[in-house]
Amino acid sequence: MDSLVILGGSFLFGLIIGSFLTVVVHRVPIMMEQALRLEFQQEGDPSDAKSPYNLAVPGSRCSACARPIKPFT
């Protein structure tokens, strides 16, 4: 019984870590690209002003309907 609990806990822990790493791998290159654009952008040129994009914002959305995905649905 104890080995089953350990196995289940390890599986759940792996799912959580894997989900987080997927978000990091997807968003970090986009964040780096935005930072480079801001760095090389001319001062006072607000043409590329965008909403914040980091590991927490924006929330996840469905690719088909663009509806927000809540953590516990």
Residues 40-66: tens digit of each pLDDT: 876 656 555 667 888 888 888 888 998
At residue 59, the pLDDT reads 83
pLDDT mean across residues, the chain: 85
Note the pTM of the prediction, 2 decimals.
0.64
CA distance 37 to 25: 19
For residue 66, the tally of other CB atoms under 10 A from its CB is: 7
Residue 35: pLDDT above 70? yes
CA distance 9 to 40: 46
Residue with more model confidence, 71 or 43: 71
58, 34 in Cβ contact below 8 A? Answer: no
- Residue 68 dihedral angles phi and psi, to the nearest 5°: -60, 140
At residue 65, the pLDDT reads 92
